[in-house]
């Protein structure tokens, strides 16, 4: 019994660190946090700077750093995907 409980706690601990962001919603986060300095027009303007998926990811990291949110890795990737699916459409 003791072992069982210990095992269960361990498993819980692991999932919460590995996926701390299960309820992260890229669209809501974006609307709430990413439209203060620029709106979504910067993603579609003709002279936009991001021109590849890796650049998009690093730009998301940079803007996250500016914002001071310190998003989890998974959330950065989810946000990158969100922008790619909705605006950039780079091939994965």
Q: Count other C-beta atoms under 10 Å from residue 55's C-beta.
A: 13
Burial tier of 83 (Cβ tally within 10 Å: 0-12, 13-18, 19+)? buried
Return the number of the residue (42 or 53) whose C-beta is nearest ligand HEC. Answer: 42
> Cβ distance 47 to 41 under 8 Å?
no
**C-alpha distances in Å from residue 49, one per residue of 35, 66, 79:** 17, 17, 17
Whole-number minimum distance, CB 12 to ligand HEC, in Å? Answer: 29
Whole-number minimum distance, CB 89 to ligand HEC, in Å? Answer: 12
Return the number of the residue (2 or 92) whose C-beta is nearest ligand HEC. Answer: 92
Q: Which residues bind ligand HEC (CB under 6 A)?
A: 33-34, 36-38, 42-43, 48-50, 56, 59-60, 63-64, 66-67, 79, 83
Whole-number minimum distance, CB 16 to ligand HEC, in Å? Answer: 23
């Amino acid at each position: 019994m003791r072992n069982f409980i210990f095992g269960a706690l361990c498993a819980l601990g692991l999932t919460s660190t590995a996926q701390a962001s299960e309820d992260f919603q890229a669209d809501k986060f974006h609307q709430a946090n990413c439209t203060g300095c620029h709106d979504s027009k910067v993603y579609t303007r003709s002279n936009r700077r991001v021109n590849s998926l890796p650049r998009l990811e690093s730009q998301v990291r940079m803007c996250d750093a500016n914002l001071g949110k310190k998003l989890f890795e998974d959330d950065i990737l989810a946000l990158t995907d969100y922008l790619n699916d909705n605006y950039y459409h780079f091939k994965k």
